[in-house]
Amino acid sequence: MKVSLFITCLADNLYPEVVESVARILTDYGCEVDFPEAQTCCGQPAFNSGYQDEAREVSRQLIRAFEHSDYVVSPSGSCTGMVHHFYPYLFRDEPEWAAKAEALVGKMYEFSQFLVGVLGVSDLGASFPHKVTYHPSCHAMRLLGVKEEPMKLLSSVADMSYVELPKREDCCGFGGTFAIKMADMSEAMVCEKAGNVCQTGAEVLVGTDMGCLMNIGGRLNKEGKPVRVMHLAQLLEEGRTKR
Amino acid sequence: MSGHGNTAVDERIGTGLKSRTRHALSDEFLRKAVAFTTDKLKSGRLQAMDTFGDWEAWRERGKAIRSHTIDNLDYYLGQFADNVVKGGGHVYFAKEGKDAVRTFMDIAERNKAKLVAKGKSMVSEEIHLNQELEKKGIDAIETDLGEYILQLARETPSHLIIPAIHKNKQQIAKLFTDASGEHFEPETKVLAEYARKKLRNYFLEADIGLTGCNFGVAESGSITLVSNEGNGRMVSTLPKVHVVVMGMERLVPTFEDLEVVLNLLARSATGQKLTTYTSILTGPKASGDLDGPEELHVIILDNGRSEQLGDPIFQEVLNCIRCAACLNVCPVYRHVGGHTYGSVYSGPIGAVLTPLLQQDMKEAGTLAYASSLCGACYEACPVKIPLHDMLVHLRHRKVKMKLTALPERVAFKSYQTIFGNITLYKLATKSAYYMQKPLVREGMIKSGPPPLSGWTQSRFMPMLPKQSFRDKWGALQQELARKRKEGGKA
């Protein structure tokens, strides 16, 4: 099975190790992984700020990059959600591009969604002897409907003690440009989220979206809290190597 | 938003969204009170959904009923108005808020009214009826407990259904003590008992009873009022004249439809199966009736609503049944409360509705940014209004009208140029690595100039590593090829 990595601009530049974990796990499960180098960004920063024309042009770059891919897998429910939820709308007046957008929607998956839904794997045989809590990301849950998949993967990790995050489905306050534009609102939200993480006593916070994790992790760092923040793919890969 | 918004609050803390946000965030009482009540309402709603069977199917049904009604609003408004008149009532269509106010004043003058007893009505807040009545020397008394508290505090509602959500028992006891001269302990039962006694006289003495309308039933011309205090029934029955002010979208075609939306409303709003009182009023007192008003007047308000009809994106906002579930789940509302929105309608629905009704993208349109776009509002909405999408489309409207700041416009144009071209993208991300260097301390960016300071005021930022994924791909590709040769680990 040929799988193209949609690495997202955030992970490309700030969290390359997350995509490396995704690539190794997919390879372990028989996927032939490639990286179409023309990809940049899904266009969400512009789209969510109201700049739809600008977002559309950046979207074309992504659509072109994956035109020849069979499957596209990304470590972000938010960027995948952008493609699924808004690309058909962005190209509603351009039939040729609308068809291309639909084609991309049909083959693009978020990492946990692909593992569980397409590869049919939920037990990776990982062991992770730590106390872990999990923050579900809004766009994975609400734009993509990815709710069960990360929990399925986590619940089959051996030796891990899982503790549920209070108010776990509340947004962490990232929201892309919201974090900067409405800094005070965002701050109130991330402080509450970080507080809830600490309240669990977990050593590790795991999630499926680096945007949210950069936000919560950045707050935990500022507070000097020793919580390790990881993407689900990193936790699973580390758990597999340790086994 | 001055003149439209919460005058009392605006005067105290300024008019900008950001200054109102800061003011709310510094009010620990407010934040605790709002979080406490919204948490309670949220868990109540989840329970009430569970016991209702297939909630998704009910939501679909609710959406279908509301969409059908709004798609055919001209027809159902005609039918509703005809039936109100047939039943002996009077109907008035008001284009703007001031038209509705004038109509009300005419009715008040004809009846030489001195005292108006009000049931809870967000539309009367929308048209600032109380202030207008005060100018004419007519006393208007709020009889909903929450609204009564706010009237004493000279404030406006900060929540659609729990208007005084931002006040705690201690603050309410103080208000009652100051207003009555008696001393009150902060005990819910005692405070409610006082309000009950006090308000009872107003029901009997009022010349006019004023209410809103939760749903008008087109097939019969009936007005449906839901309340948990019974004041709606009193206000609409005891005074000689009953005046209803309602938004033009507040209709359902039949009683069969009413059953569905009432179920959705109560469960989504408070987690109740039905509200304690559901009053369905058809026409004024008829011969042989034991009670009821002698006159019934129904004022149907447009005030920007009809502008949304036919709009492919925003028409659906008229489907709202005002349950406030979106407020109760909104993480922004939870922290800043309703007054921050500077509008009668707060929370996600208020952020969408306010700029649309006021047709003001410049000031009111700023509300579109009061959301992280988490989508909790859509998930909670019993009639599935995609509020999170509408917020993005409102931002787009602001951009199209060139109402966003020039530096922002330039930034997104550059974004388009750079992220739309892989060579420029690679060049830009490489230079960013070097440009960040003066800001990096201990491998992190802990403070920075605007707009980065918006981020660093509350969190650290990781530094860009020397090698991006793109740089590492060559080595990884070889590793993966070896892995595949070995047959993987799985």
Question: pLDDT for A209-227, tens place per residue?
Answer: 999 999 999 999 999 999 9
pLDDT, tens digit, 9 for 90 and up, residues A158-189: 999 999 999 999 999 999 999 999 999 999 99
pLDDT at position A242 is 72
- Residue B464 in contact with residue B432, Cβ under 8 Å? yes
Inter-chain touch A27–B483, beta carbons under 8 Å: yes
CA distance B306 to B139: 32
How would you classify the pairing of strands B277-281 and B251-252? unpaired
> Min CA distance, B33 vs chain A (Å)?
15
Residue in chain A lying closest to B421 (CA): A61
pTM: 0.95
* One-letter amino acid for residue A86 of the chain: F
Alpha helices for B314-421 (secondary structure H): 325-329, 331-336, 347-358, 376-380, 387-400, 406-419
Contact yes or no for A219/A194 (Cβ under 8 A): yes
Question: Which residue in B has a C-alpha nearest to residue A39's C-alpha?
Answer: B422
CB contact under 8 A, A183 and B489: no
All residues of chain B having their beta carbon less than 8 Å from the beta carbon of residue A214 are 461-462
What is the rounded distance in angstroms from the CA atom of residue B291 to the CA atom of residue A147?
54
Chain B residue with Cα closest to A189: B331
Q: Which token pair is A74?
A: 């990304």
Q: How far apart are CA A18 and CA B131, in angstroms?
A: 59
In the numeric block, which tokens belong to residue B86?
Answer: 């047939």
How far apart, in whole angstroms, are the C-alpha atoms of residue B155 and residue B401? 33
Classify residue B282 by its DSSP letter.
-
Q: For residue B371, which residues of chain A lie inside 8 Å, CB to CB?
A: 175, 178
Residue with tokens 């038209």, as numbered in its chain? B99
Residue of B nearest to A47 (CA): B392
Residue that has been written with the tokens 């059953």 in this structure: B259
* CB-based burial label for A162 (10 Å; 0-12, 13-18, 19+): middle
A33 CB-near residues (< 8 Å, 6+ apart): A3, A4, A5, A23, A26, A27, B480
Nearest CA in chain B to A59: B420
pLDDT digits (tens, 9 = 90+) for B209-264: 999 999 999 999 999 999 999 999 999 999 999 999 999 999 999 999 999 999 99
CB neighbours of B94 closer than 8 A, spacing ≥ 6?
B100, B103, B299, B300, B301, B302, B303
Yes or no: say if A10 and A17 are a contact pair by the CB < 8 Å rule. no
What the block records as the tokens of B485 is: 């040769």
Q: Range(s) for CATH 3.40.50.10420 in chain B?
A: 17-307
Best residue of B328, B377, B458 to probe chain A, by most A CBs closer than 10 Å? B458
Query: In this complex, do A178 and B373 lie within 8 Å of one another by their Cβ atoms?
Result: yes
Best of A44, A87, A171, A215 to disrupt the B interface (most B CBs within 10 Å) is A171
Q: Are B374 and A138 a contacting pair at CB < 8 A?
A: yes
Cβ contact, residue pair A186, B372, below 8 Å: yes
**Residues of chain B contacting residue A50, judged by C-beta atoms under 8 Å apart:** 368, 392, 394-399, 404
Is residue B321 packed enough to be buried (19+ CB in 10 Å), middle (13-18) or exposed (0-12)? Answer: buried
**Torsion angle, alpha carbons of B405, B408, B414, B420, to 10:** -120
pLDDT of amino acid A243: 63
Residue B6 pLDDT: 45
Residue B486 pLDDT: 86
Q: CA-to-CA distance for B487 and B490, rounded, in angstroms?
A: 8
CA distance A162 to chain B (A): 23
Q: What is the DSSP letter of B292?
A: -
User: For residue B477, which amino acid is it?
Assistant: Q
For residue A98, the model assigns a pLDDT of 98
Q: Do B336 and A43 touch (CB under 8 A)?
A: no
What CA–CA distance (Å, rounded) separates A71 from B472? Answer: 22
d(CA A216, CA A198): 11
Which residues from A are below 8 Å from B425, CB to CB? 40
Cβ neighbours around B272 below 10 Å, total: 17
Cβ-proximal residues to B101 (8 Å cutoff; 6+ apart), any chain: B127, B128, B129, B132
Specify the DSSP element, H or E, that contains B479: helix B469-486
Which of B192, B174, B197 is CA-nearest to residue B184? B174
Residue A40 to residue B422, Cβ atoms within 8 A:
yes
- The verdict on a CB contact (< 8 Å) between B413 and A54 is yes
Nearest residue on chain A to B335, judged by CA atoms? A188
Cβ A183–B458 below 8 Å, yes or no? yes
Structure token digits, residue B324: 């406030």
CB-based contacts of A93: which residues, under 8 Å, 6+ apart? none
Q: How many CB atoms lie within 10 A of CB A157?
A: 23
Helices (H), B401-468: 406-419, 422-435, 452-456
Task: Kindly identify which residue of chain B lies nearest to residue A193, measuring between CA atoms.
Answer: B331
ipTM surpassing 0.95: yes
The shortest C-alpha distance from B451 to chain A (Å) reads 7
The amino acid at residue A45 is: P
The pLDDT of A203-212, averaged and rounded, is 98
Amino acid (1-letter code) at residue B79: Q
The number of beta carbons lying within 10 Å of the beta carbon of residue A29 is 17
Closest CA to B144 of B264, B229, B29: B229
Q: Which among B388, B419, B451 has CB closest to A180? A: B451
Q: Is the dihedral of CA B61, B63, B67, B69 positive or negative?
A: positive
Tens-binned pLDDT, residue by residue, of chain B (490 aa): 333 344 444 444 457 999 999 999 999 999 999 999 999 999 999 999 999 999 999 999 999 999 999 999 999 999 999 999 999 999 999 999 999 999 999 999 999 999 999 999 999 999 999 999 999 999 999 999 999 999 999 999 999 999 999 999 999 999 999 999 999 999 999 999 999 999 999 999 999 999 999 999 999 999 999 999 999 999 999 999 999 999 999 999 999 999 999 999 999 999 999 999 999 999 999 989 988 999 999 999 999 999 999 999 999 999 999 999 999 999 999 999 999 999 999 999 999 999 999 999 999 999 999 999 999 999 999 999 999 999 999 999 999 999 999 999 999 999 999 999 999 999 999 999 999 999 999 999 999 999 999 999 999 999 999 999 999 999 999 999 999 998 755 4
Contact B323, B268 (CB under 8 A): yes
Q: What are the beta bridge partners of residue B301?
A: B94, B247
> What's the pLDDT at B91?
98
- For β-strands A71-74 and A108-110, DSSP reports them as parallel
Nearest-5° Cα angle at A79, B348 to B382: 30
Q: Would you state the CATH architecture of domain B17-307?
A: 3-Layer(aba) Sandwich (3.40)
For residue B419, give the nearest of A58, A175, A180 by CB distance: A58
